[in-house]
Amino acid sequence: MLYWIQQLGIETDLPLRIFGYITVRAALALALALIVGIFLGPFFIGWLKRKKIGQKIRGEGIPELYERHKGKAETPTMGGILILASFVISTLVCGNLSTQMVWITLSAAVAFGAIGAMDDWAKVANGNHKGISARTKLLLQAVAALALAIWIYNLPEENFRYRTNLDEAIEFVPHSLTTLFMKWLIPLGILYIPWVLVVLVCTSNAVNLTDGLDGLAIGCVLFVASAFALLSYLVGRYDFATGYLWIIHVRGAGELAICCAALIGASLAFLWYNCHPAEVFMGDTGSLALGGTLATIAVLLHQELLLPIIGGVFVAEAVSVIIQVGSFKLTGKRVFRMTPLHHHFEQLGWHESKIITRFWIVAALLAVLGLATLKTR
């Protein structure tokens, strides 16, 4: 909307051209999402309480976990709707809606959020922590990811440009990966579709596993989204991407910085109510939507291989579960006291606030480390 307003300013000679600048619209997107989220928060949380849409705590077979978190039972959940509302409204107002990448990102957020909402609602309806079956949820995620992957695969080839040095001609590389450090290109062709599917499904579930303590997941999302906001701006600038960083330049990627800024603002607003002790939980509605959105942005920027570094906390949480399950099935022994990883530290006696703060610090360091890998040649 603001982008169209600046177009009107050009035609009428009004001083509205500032709305054409990505930096200005990104700042406004962050502020708008923050204001919308904080303003709507009390009304939305009150509505959840009246409808008795509360969190169910896992108890069977894990008495220590239940005793530690039983005080959080019936805390309003499905707060991801608040994140999505703030994010979507801000993006629609501040983004360039003629750019397909903006619509792909919004579609990813809504699609994965809807799947999470189905799971959260099933938990409320069933009166326990069990939602839809893991197989059903994974199938729905795969279908959503496949649709997004095909959409991304069919983006115009000329949107993705790369050159190895200033003297060589520009190459169009729509379905390729950029390796870390050496910046080699790996063309995938039609295999790009299943690759994108795997990235989206894995990332959404990794963020979901991280959402176990007050403010833990949303705080980590803030650092990841901040890193990708800067990365979106750089990838969208032809001079920075091809002349300095030697990475794929994506035409229109600057608009993803608007999406990232809106996500930062929405996350800050949610953290306002989700910090310890939480007034509301995001539920799968939020965690799946956030993971799917971040993964989609990484794919659109052709920086999927950077995502495991910048989002290293999410990777560690997911890997801890894989290791625990694999070890127990193969040897009958557990590597961690409890998984996901944050519960292991709870079992070691760390206070919840200490775990959250230290995970945030690690997330911030990983975001900086990920960005530092960009300039290696």
CB 223 within 8 A of CB 210: no
Whether the upstream peptide bond of residue 277 has omega within 30° of 0, thus cis, is yes
pLDDT bucket at 166, cuts 50 / 70 / 90 = low
One-letter-per-residue 3-state SS of the chain: CHHHHHHHHHHHCCCCHHHHCHHHHHHHHHHHHHHHHHHHHHHHHHHHHHCCCECCCCCCCCHHHHHHHHHHCCCECCCHHHHHHHHHHHHHHHCCCCCHHHHHHHHHHHHHHHHHHHHHHHHHHHCCCCCCCHHHHHHHHHHHHHHHHHHHHCCCHHHEEECCCCCCCCEECCCEEECCCCCCEEECHHHHHHHHHHHHHHHHHHHHHHCCCCCHHHHHHHHHHHHHHHHHHHHHCHHHHHHHHCCCEECCCHHHHHHHHHHHHHHHHHHHHHCCCCCCCCHHHHHHHHHHHHHHHHHHCCCHHHHHHHCHHHHHHHHHHHHHHHHHHHHCCCCCCCCCHHHHHHHCCCCHHHHHHHHHHHHHHHHHHHHHCCCCC
User: Average per-residue pLDDT in the chain?
Assistant: 89
Has residue 281 got a pLDDT over 90?
yes
Take residue 347 and report the two structure tokens written for it.
């079992």
> pLDDT tens-digit profile of 175-230?
988 888 777 888 999 999 999 999 999 999 999 999 989 999 999 999 999 999 99
Query: Percentage of residues in the chain with pLDDT exceeding 70?
Result: 90
pLDDT at position 7: 62
Query: How far is it, in rounded angstroms, from Cα 193 to Cα 172?
Result: 18
Has residue 15 got a pLDDT over 80?
no
Has residue 111 got a pLDDT over 70?
yes
pLDDT at position 6: 65
Q: Which residue has the higher pLDDT, 159 or 291?
A: 291
Has residue 264 got a pLDDT over 60?
yes
Has residue 165 got a pLDDT over 70?
no
Q: How many residues does the chain have?
A: 377
- Lowest-pLDDT range, 87-101, 236-250, 339-353? 236-250
Buried b or exposed e, range 260-280, using 16+ CB within 10 angstroms: bbbbbbbbbbbbebbeeebbb
Q: Which residue has the higher pLDDT, 10 or 206?
A: 206
> pLDDT tens-digit profile of 287-332?
999 999 999 999 999 999 999 999 999 999 999 999 999 999 999 9
Take residue 181 and report the two structure tokens written for it.
């450090």
Take residue 124 and report the two structure tokens written for it.
């409320």
